[in-house]
Amino acid sequence: AMAARLSGFLTAILGVETAEEVVLLECASIVSYPGAVAQSWHADSDWDAACDASTVVTQLALADLSDPTLGAIEVRPFVASLDDTVDLPMRAPAGTVVAYDSKVTHRGGENSNELGTARPVLYTTWAARDDGLLPRNLGYTIEADDVGRWTLQGLVDAHAKPKAKNKRRKRR
């Protein structure tokens, strides 16, 4: 269901016409437990690699990230200089998808929750088929043979409910 909902968004952002042209590069989860410090600021792909494919990261909040003690995903939008840095915490309810270019600097915030609540997120990274070389420094959390093998449309189709066949037996 998530892939079907993201289809229009991802095809538009990646500049392709169909979800068959959007390929999965990564799929994993990250869990931040209480007491976890904030991640270091990082980007998932290299700013300097002009030949790298355009990639979009989605993070699906599996917990209520509107609770500031859970340490929401934080992003730093593209800015002209470090003096212009703005940190944007993505505080949102469970089920929200945060999407950003893999070159955007981001991190998972500190989880200071005293009730023992973890912050789980499911993340995926997508690229347009034939959009250049795959980024060098992605985590590639799926098997090497599967990187780029699964398309967004293929995932939608794989989870579609099969149509019930109405077969009648002939009486003898």
Averaged in consecutive runs of 10 residues, what is the pLDDT profile of the chain (172 residues)?
77 87 88 93 72 79 90 78 70 89 87 93 86 66 79 76 56 54
Show the CA angle centred on residue 104, arms to residues 102 and 107, nearest 5°.
Answer: 95
Nearest residue to 72 via CA among 127, 23, 119: 119
Given this model, what pLDDT does residue 2 score?
66
Given this model, what pLDDT does residue 52 score?
60
Given this model, what pLDDT does residue 69 score?
93
Q: Return the amino acid letter for 88.
A: L
Given this model, what pLDDT does residue 133 score?
66
- Count helices and strands in the chain by DSSP H and E runs: 2, 7
Given this model, what pLDDT does residue 31 score?
93
